[in-house]
Amino acid sequence: MREKIAALLREDLEKKLGKAIKYERDFVELSGDIFEKTTKQISISTLKRFFGTVTCHFKPSKFTLETLANYLGFDDIQAYLEGFDLTTQLHKNSWSQLKNRVNLITEVSLESLKLKTGYDPGIFVLRPWGEKYLESFYQSSKSATMVVAPDGFGKSTMLIQLVERILTDPTGKHKDDIVGLIDGGTFFNLYSRSSSIELLNQLLELKIETSLFLYFQKHPEQVNGCFWLIIDDVDEVFYDKLKQHQFIENLTKIILLHRENNWVKFIFTCRPENLNIFTGFIKKNPILENCWFEVEFDNNNMAECINIPLLNEKEIKFIFKNLGVKNGKPLKRLDNDLLDTIRHPNLLEVLVEEYDPNEELSIFLLLGRYLNKRINSQPYRNEKLQLVNRFFELCNLAKESNSVIKEQLVNNTTEMGYHELVSYGILYELTSPADFFNSNIYVRFSQNSIFDFLLFKKWLQHDLPDLERFKKIKEFYENNVQMQCRLLPLNVKLFLHNKDYQAILHIHQQLEKGMIVADDSSDTLPLCMISIAEVVKMALKNNPALRELFMPWIYSSRLGNTLYGKELFNPNETMV
C-alpha cells in the first residue's frame, strides 16, 4: 500500500513540474520549485531516494510526505489521501480533492497553449463576445458547445482567457468549479505522464461503471459546483481517422450520459472541415443534437459553420492602442479598407506579429506577409503553390466564376497542401447537388481580399505597363461587373501604395473620354468608376500630395466634379 501511495505522489509531482523526473537537473529543478512554492526544503538526495534512483531501505519521513502534499496543493498528506481509493486510484468522496487533481492537467495544458499561440495578455484581451458566449452557455440547459473556426481565429487564445480570467478566478462565481482543460494537440504527452488519471482514460476507453461523473451522479450531495471538460483542437487528438472516430464517439456517449446533469459542461474547439465527424454521430442519434449550444452541424458550406464573429472596430482599436503603448509610439492611421480586412483574426494575427509603428501600413503589405506565411512556406509549399495556380487556371482567372470543382483541383500529389490551406481558412468547401444521384464539392477562397490579391498578382505576372494592365483587366471582365469593381480599385490601391498619383489621375482622364456624365449625378456612371472613386475619396482625405494633384482636375472636369466636387476634404480628418 505504501508503494501505491508513493507511486501516486511521484506521478503527481511529475505532472506538477511538467516533466519526467529522471536526471540530476530534474531533481535540482524540483527541489527549487518545492522551496519556492512551500518555503520548505527537501534535499536533492532525499528526492532521489523517493524516486528510486538511489537505493534506500527506509520509508520517506513524515516531513517529506507533508511537504510533498503541500507542494501539490493539499493541507497535509492525509488530505491528499482521503480523496482517493488507492486500490483503483479513482476519486472517492471529495470534490475539492478531485479539483486539485484535475487542475494538474489544466496547468500543463495552459502552459502548452500559451507556447503554441505566443500568448501575450497585454495585447490579446478577452473579447466581450467570448465572455457572453460562456455565460449564455452556462445559463442554458445544453451540456455541450463547440467553437468552430479555422486556425488563426483565436480559438486557443479565447480558451486560455476564459479559463484563467473567469473559470479559475479564485474570487469569481466559478471558484468552486472543476476545470479540466486539455490541449488536444498534446493529448498523448499529457496521457503518457498522467495515465492513471481516470478522466483521460475515460476519453480513450469509455467505462461507464468506473466513471468519475457517474460517482457524483450517484452522490449529488458531494457536487460543489460545475465540472468543465474543455478540449482545445478536439479534432487533433488523433490523426488516424479510425481512432479519431472512436475518440469522438466516446465523447458523444459521455455527453449523452450527462445531458440532464446541469453541473457538467463540455467545451470543444474544432476546425470546420472536421465537423462532419460529429455530424455523422448526430445523424445516427438525433437526441445528441439537442445537447449542443449554438453549433450548426448539418451545413454543406464550411464557411457558414464558423461561429466566431469577426473583430469589430472597437476591438481592433484597443489591440492597436496596446501595441502602440508597448512599442512606445502612437498608432499610425488605418484606412477603412485595411480595417475591414483585419477584422478577420487570422489576418490581424500576422499584422500584430510583425507590427512596426514606423511602417506605412497597407493592404498589399499585410496580404503579402500573410500569404508568404501561409502559402509560400513549408510545409507543402510546392503543393500549395500548385493548387493556387491550378485554381485560377480552372476558373480562367475568375472571368465567369470564383469557384472550382474539388475533384478537378486536388489530386494525390497536392492533397496534403490542400488540407493545409483549408485548415488555415484560406479555402473552404461547399456541396452543390448536381442531380438526384450526384453532388459536386466546390472549392472557394474564404475571403475576397485574399482571392482578389492572388488574382491581381496573376495579372501582374503579365508584365504589362500599369495603364495597359488597367485597360486589359477592364476589358477582360467586361461581362463580369463584380470582378471589375473588385480588381480595378485594387489596381488603384497599388498606385497609391507606390505613390504613383499621376497614374491615378491619368486613369480618370482616360475613363472620361467618350463618357456621358450627367450634371450632379453619378447614377449613369459605370459601377467600376464608382468603386474606384470610393478608394480615391478615402485617399484624398489623408493624402495632401494626391489632393494637390487632383484638385485642379476635379474642378475643371465634369466627371471630377460629379465624383468628388461635393466632398469636403478636411486635411486633419483620419480614419482611425
Dmax (CA) of the chain: 102
Task: Count the neighbouring beta carbons within 10 Å of the beta carbon of residue 546.
Answer: 19
CA proximity to 414, closest of 441, 382, 391: 382
Residue 156 CA: distances (Å) to CA of 228, 294, 313, 322, 480? 16, 18, 22, 20, 40
Percent of the chain residues topping a pLDDT of 90: 37
pLDDT at 243: 81
Across 2-11, 36-45, 432-441, least confident range = 432-441
What integer best gives the mean pLDDT of the chain? 83
What is the pLDDT averaged over residues 43-65? Answer: 84
**DSSP tag of 302:** G
pLDDT at 85: 47
Whether the per-residue pLDDT at 306 is higher than 70: the answer is yes
d(CA 33, CA 291): 43
In degrees and rounded to multiples of 5, residue 535 shows phi and psi of -65, -45
Cα-Cα-Cα-Cα dihedral sign, residues 513, 515, 519, 524: negative
Q: What is the band of 387 on the pLDDT scale with cuts at 50, 70, 90?
A: very high
270 SS3 class: strand
What is the pLDDT averaged over residues 483-510? Answer: 91
Whether the per-residue pLDDT at 415 is higher than 50: the answer is yes
How does 3-42 read in b/e, with b if 16+ C-beta sit within 10 Å?
eebbebbebbbbbbbeeebeeeebbebbbeebeeebeeeb
Q: What is the band of 92 on the pLDDT scale with cuts at 50, 70, 90?
A: very low
* Confidence (pTM): 0.76
Whether the per-residue pLDDT at 569 is higher than 50: the answer is no
Whether the per-residue pLDDT at 553 is higher than 80: the answer is yes
d(CA 337, CA 541): 14
Percent of the chain residues topping a pLDDT of 70: 84
pLDDT at 70: 87
